Structure 1
Amino acid sequence: MKIAVGSDHGGFALKEAVKKHLEAKGIEVEDFGCYSTESVDYAVYGAKVAHCVADGKADYGVLVCSTGIGISMAANKVKGIRAALCSDTHAAEMTRRHNNANVLCLGGLVTEEKTALEIVDTFLKFDFEGGRHQRRIDQIADIENGRL
């Protein structure tokens, strides 16, 4: 499994903790930045990770900005990306099982590290259920393609 990670300056510390956590589990991680707490624009890093996942170069992505909101908005502009901002493990489980999310977004200044790592583990643990949920994923794709 390969995970693409990225953040802005507000999510840098949590991104680094997530990266270390994943690598300790033997998961390959590609870090798209940022690489410090110097102010940067979240959209750039959201796009880099989202394109990596959409192009099939990583299985999933994890993005972090101060709240997780802006970076999730940016990632969701990339065709084929279903980025979900999660603040608890239940949301992480359900977004994988029902929404087939492929990018997890976190708020670096609003989510404690311990909780964030639990959310990451939960997100990676569950698979998409398909079934009736596939119809909804297809509708999201129809929106992306201007058919809905």
Structure 2
Amino acid sequence: MKIAIGSDHAGFKYKEQIIAHLKELGHEVKDCGTYSLDSTDYPLWIIPTAEAVARGECERGIVLGGSGNGEAMAANKVKGVRCALCWSDETAQLSRQHNNSNVLSIGERMISIEIALRIVDIWLTTEFEGGRHVNRIAELDRYEAGQPMQ
């Protein structure tokens, strides 16, 4: 799978470790930055990561910051992105099963790297359940396209 990944300075250490982990698993990684611990504004790195997913250049995206909140907000500004902030096995699993998330947000200051890597693995291997959730995703898509929801 081709995965875009981006972070600000507060998510940089986990980004680097997650990149190594993804490559070990055989995934192709597009590193959208940042490239150091120097203080920077998260939208500069998160929006290009989300855009790579929205354009279809990458199948999924992972964004990281201190809490992951701002990163999720920035990613969700990009049409076609459904970014989920995850902090546990269950939130990662449900974000894929029920919400068909295509971008994952993680807060480096909120969880350990062990939990973060486990979340990444669960998120990457969990399939969208479909069923009753298909209509809910379609409603989001309609709203995003400026059409009325049913």
TM-score bin, normalised by smaller chain: over 0.9
Provide the rounded CA distance (Å) in 2 between the counterparts of 1:90 and 1:147.
Answer: 32
CA-CA distance at 1:37 after TM superposition: 0.6
Give the match for residue 125 of structure 2: 125
**SS of the residue aligned with 1:63?**
strand
Equivalent residue runs for 1:103-114 within 5 Å: 103-114=103-114
AA in 1 matched with 2:44: V
Task: Using structure 1 for the length normalisation, give the TM-score.
Answer: 0.98
AA in 2 matched with 1:54: A
AA in 2 matched with 1:104: L
Give the match for residue 39 of structure 2: 39
Give the match for residue 19 of structure 2: 19
RMSD: 0.8
Provide the rounded CA distance (Å) in 1 between the counterparts of 2:86 and 2:143.
Answer: 23
Q: C-alpha deviations, 1:52-96, integer Å up to 9, x for none?
A: 001111110000010000010000000000000000011111110
Provide the rounded CA distance (Å) in 2 between the counterparts of 1:130 and 1:117.
Answer: 25
CA-CA distance at 1:3 after TM superposition: 0.6
Provide the rounded CA distance (Å) in 2 between the counterparts of 1:108 and 1:35.
Answer: 16
Structure 1 spans left out of the alignment, 5+ residues = none
Provide the rounded CA distance (Å) in 2 between the counterparts of 1:60 and 1:5.
Answer: 9
Task: Using structure 2 for the length normalisation, give the TM-score.
Answer: 0.96
**SS of the residue aligned with 1:106?**
strand
Provide the rounded CA distance (Å) in 1 between the counterparts of 2:74 and 2:126.
Answer: 24
Structure 1 residue runs of 4 or more that deviate by more than 4 Å after TM superposition: none
Q: C-alpha deviations, 1:8-35, integer Å up to 9, x for none?
A: 0000001111111111111111100000
Give the match for residue 53 of structure 1: 53
Q: C-alpha deviations, 1:93-135, integer Å up to 9, x for none?
A: 1110110000000001111100000000000011111111010
AA in 2 matched with 1:75: A
Give the match for residue 93 of structure 2: 93
Provide the rounded CA distance (Å) in 2 between the counterparts of 1:26 and 1:86.
Answer: 23
CA-CA distance at 1:5 after TM superposition: 0.4
